[in-house]
Amino acid sequence: MKILTVTAALAATVAFYAVSAMADTRRDAILVEFLSQAKQEDPSFTAFSAERGKAFFHAKQTGGKPDTQSCTTCHTETPQAKGRTRAGKEIDPIAVSSTPTRFTDPEEVAKWFGRNCNSVLGRECTAVEKGDFITFMTGQ
Amino acid sequence: MRYLIMLAIMASTALPAWADERLPPIKNEMVSKECGACHMAFQPQFLPQESWRKIMDTLPSHFGEDASLPEAPRREVADYLLTNAGDVSQSREGQKFAKSIGNGPLPLRITEVPRWVREHREVRAKAWSDPRVRSKANCQACHRGAAFGLYDDD
């Protein structure tokens, strides 16, 4: 009986790590793609920065729509906290530690950067901005 | 047998009242997911076809936000909304919503439909600004079963 319990616990642990490792692999692939784009935009570019991502996340912008001046308008100042859309709906935390599936689906990533960069900044985000953002959130 | 017939009669007479302020829940996963990402996925019966057409044609500027979708999912969502819009729906509540617009201006928000306005006239301003409500788009704050099409609980 005891062996069974231990085996089950072990299996659950392995499964948990396997799932998060898979998510990590998919997130890494997305970052690699942004890195190659960033290098195309600027051949001297070397690496994404969590610090720049943090500043970008908290920055107040003026080029976008008046109701959404910052990422934090909906995601709050705390990446580990639940956010709220302007329509009152809860948003899962943007931090990867709180929502491990964040930044693992390239289509979702493209959709949300596409929409939110336009809403907040009034333009597309650069590959550097997107890579910095994901790098920051991956460590949160 | 007689018992069964009795039951059937009871059920059929009970149905109209029971069906009031009840809308069919959304049965398309793409609609539930995409519309439901930012707000409750509102039942399409609340607005007429013309409103949905305009909303789905202007997603990049959606009530102050960019809600763009790639063309394939946009089309799937639009098809579902147009097929189930109030003015073409079998839903009685949906028909009432559509009828209340009459020849008036085309609503782009459900909260602009005269029947919606009438149904909410007794709600005080204080309730709308309650932090648990925040937005008139937040149906579920008061109608707990809203996502399932149940609005009878007021």
* Closest chain A CA to residue B60: A115
* Spatial separation of the C-alpha atoms in residues A21 and A26, rounded to whole Å: 9
Size of interface A-B (CB pairs under 8 A): 49
Percent of chain B predicted with pLDDT > 90: 72
Q: How many CB atoms lie within 10 A of CB A77?
A: 10
Contacts of B150 (CB under 8 A, 6+ apart): B21, B22, B143, B144
- In this prediction, residue A71 carries a pLDDT of 97
Q: Taking residues B34-46, report their average pLDDT.
A: 96
- In this prediction, residue B29 carries a pLDDT of 97
Domains in chain A: boundaries: 2-138
Does the beta carbon of B82 lie under 8 angstroms from any beta carbon of chain A?
no
In eight-state DSSP terms, residue B57 is H
Chain A interface test: which of B32, B33, B38 (most A C-beta within 10 Å) = B38
* Closest chain A CA to residue B141: A88
- In this prediction, residue B41 carries a pLDDT of 96
**If pLDDT is split at 50, 70 and 90, which confidence band does A88 have?**
confident
Burial of A88 (0-12, 13-18, 19+ CB in 10 A): buried
Does the beta carbon of A69 lie under 8 angstroms from any beta carbon of chain B?
no
User: Is ipTM beyond 0.90?
Assistant: no
Does residue A69 contact residue A62 with C-beta atoms inside 8 Å?
yes
For residue B85, pLDDT over 50 is answered with: yes
pLDDT tens digits for range A89-117: 999 999 999 999 999 999 999 999 999 99
**If pLDDT is split at 50, 70 and 90, which confidence band does B101 have?**
very high
Does residue B116 contact residue B97 with C-beta atoms inside 8 Å?
yes
Please indicate whether residue A111 or residue A66 has the higher confidence score (pLDDT).
A111
In terms of average pLDDT, the best of A5-9, A86-90, B54-58 is B54-58
B118 CA to chain A: closest CA distance, Å?
Answer: 21
Q: Taking residues A45-68, report their average pLDDT.
A: 94
Which CATH number does A2-138 carry? 1.10.760.10
For residue B6, pLDDT over 80 is answered with: no
Average pLDDT of chain B, as a whole number:
88
